[in-house]
Amino acid sequence: MIRIAFIDNQRDGLAQVRSILSEDNFSVDVYKDPQFAMDSFQRRMPDLVVINLPTSKIDGVSLIEQIRTSSIIPLVLLSTARDEIEEIMGLRYGADDYIHLPISPRVLAERIKALLRRHSSLLAHSKTSTEAEKTLVCGDLTLDPSTHTVCWKARQVNLTSTEFRMLHALVRRPGMVKTRDQLLTASYPADIYVDDRTIDSHIKRVRNKLRVADPDFTSIETLYGVGYRFNPSTDRPIAIPAFAANKLSVNHDAAGPNTFPPLSRALPWPKELGVVALRSRTEGARASK
Give 203-222 pLDDT, tens digit per residue. 999 999 999 999 999 999 99
User: Residues 98, 90: contact at Cβ < 8 Å?
Assistant: yes
Using CA atoms, how far apart are residues 29 and 7, in angstroms rounded to an integer?
A: 9
pLDDT > 90 fraction of the chain, expressed in percent and rounded:
46
Give 233-246 pLDDT, tens digit per residue. 753 333 334 444 34
Distance of CA 125 to the CA centre of its chain: 11
Q: Which of 51-55, 105-109, 175-179, 261-265 has the lowest mean pLDDT?
A: 261-265
131 confidence band (pLDDT: 50, 70, 90) = low
Contacts of 17 (CB under 8 A, 6+ apart): 105, 108, 109, 112
Q: Where in the chain is the domain with CATH 1.10.10.10?
A: 137-230
260 confidence band (pLDDT: 50, 70, 90) = very low
Using CA atoms, how far apart are residues 187 and 166, in angstroms rounded to an integer?
A: 6
Q: Is the pLDDT of residue 257 over 60?
A: no
The CATH H-level superfamily of 3-131 is Response regulator (3.40.50.2300)
Give 40-49 pLDDT, tens digit per residue. 999 999 999 9
Write the DSSP string, 212-233.
HH-TT---EEEETTTEEEE-S-
Which helix (DSSP H) or strand (DSSP E) does residue 242 occupy?
helix 242-248
CATH number for domain 137-230, candidates 3.40.50.150, 1.10.260.40, 1.10.10.10, 1.10.760.10: 1.10.10.10
